[in-house]
Amino acid sequence: MMVNDDLKALVRTIPDYPHAGILFRDITTLLLDGPGFAASVSRMAALLSGRPDLVAGIEARGFIFGAALARELGVGLVLLRKKNKLPGRVTGINYALEYGTDRIEMHADAVQPGQRVVLVDDLVATGGTALAGVELLRGAGARIEEAAFAIDLPDLGGAGRLR
């Protein structure tokens, strides 16, 4: 058995969603399995080289894993949200998608210069959203040295682009 095959078995794959030819990785089946969800978060924590100051979760499923990881590590959680979802003063970045552009934002005072932040999402595919998150956080002065994902789709190259 390969490392994490037990968790991989808990993730449902849905063909042709949201478009023909896409194999959608549905983490809701992993979340329904309490021991599996706990193991996924514990394994994320174990892979980190040290304790960060903050965890940054990318909307929306990154909030789930980010909150759980932040609690496991005993640190705060920064929310990276879609445009116009946060009240107050925000900073944001536009980024390209396969089918257009999008924007993520965070509160302007969420990160202090020099803080070590781990970026978290449920899945890394092409890495576009994660790279935008890194750029946004670094623009606020954060030190981003690691990222954690429940699922990596290595054939799409996102984790490699992040490295």
The pTM for the full model equals 0.94
CA–CA separation, 18 vs 23, rounded Å?
9
The pLDDT, as a whole number, for residue 100 is 81
Q: Is 98 a catalytic residue?
A: yes
Q: Is 61 a catalytic residue?
A: yes
Active-site choice (59, 71, 98, 138): 98
pLDDT in tens, 3-35: 899 999 999 999 999 889 989 999 999 999 999
The pLDDT, as a whole number, for residue 80 is 98
Which residue in 118, 109, 111 sits closest to 90, CA to CA? 109
The pLDDT, as a whole number, for residue 150 is 95
Q: What is the mean pLDDT of the chain?
A: 95
The pLDDT, as a whole number, for residue 1 is 60
Active-site choice (12, 25, 61, 71): 61
Which residue in 86, 39, 94 sits closest to 65, CA to CA? 39
How is residue 112 written in tokens? 């202090």
The pair phi, psi for residue 78, each rounded to 5°, is -100, 130
Q: Domains of the chain, with CATH numbers?
A: 50-162 (3.40.50.2020)
Chain position carrying tokens 């970045």: 93
pLDDT in tens, 106-139: 999 999 999 999 999 999 998 999 999 999 999 9
